[in-house]
Amino acid sequence: MSTLAYPSADFPGQPSVALDVPEGWEPVHAPGTTMAARLPREGTFAPNVVVNIEPCGPTFRVEDSLDQLRTMATSRGGAVSEPYAAELGGAQFVGCDATWPDPEVETVLQANLFHVASGGTGAGAHLVQLTGAVGGNSAEADYELIRQVLTTVRVTAWGVTGARA
């Protein structure tokens, strides 16, 4: 009899993700997120960065995630930018910005990055999604802050010491 295990070479685990955040940022634990951090602020929108990792099948396309984001933003009366490519920490990402009006903070602006981390030959892959969000009067200035955090991302494939996914 054989033993199957997770994580293993046959069923690789999630990649690891690291981000550098400025002093004063705090970790945030929220259901449905892998990792999150924010710059705490009283009475106003707190700039934040969220990381989600989820398994995806061999037919998954990043365009599917971009379409979901576009649908969400337009349903709220907003829009998304044209997709762009970015290499961050040795990994290839596809990104786009999304914005929509919000009754509490006037406008929400998100910077979104998507990367598919391969699990190896014949193994599944994982979608790594990074989202930085800003809003309110300081959105323009805070946008550069979240972009700086997002550009520090490092994705490492499961079980591969020092390798980038």
- Measure Cα distances from 96 to 77, 82, 88, 110, 141 in Å: 17, 6, 15, 8, 18
Tell me the average pLDDT across 116-135.
85
Tokens of 39: 């710059």
Separation of alpha carbons 157 and 46, rounded Å: 31
Helix (H) or strand (E) holding 147: helix 139-150
DSSP string for 59-71: T--HHHHHHHHHH
Report all structural domains of the chain as residue ranges with CATH numbers, in order of start: 16-156 (3.40.1000.10)
Prediction pTM value: 0.90
DSSP 148: H
- Measure Cα distances from 88 to 13, 50, 116 in Å: 21, 16, 13
pLDDT per residue as tens digits for the range 48-90: 999 999 998 878 889 999 999 999 999 999 999 999 999 999 9
% of the chain surpassing 70 pLDDT: 93
% of the chain surpassing 90 pLDDT: 70
Confidence of residue 157 (pLDDT cuts 50, 70, 90): confident
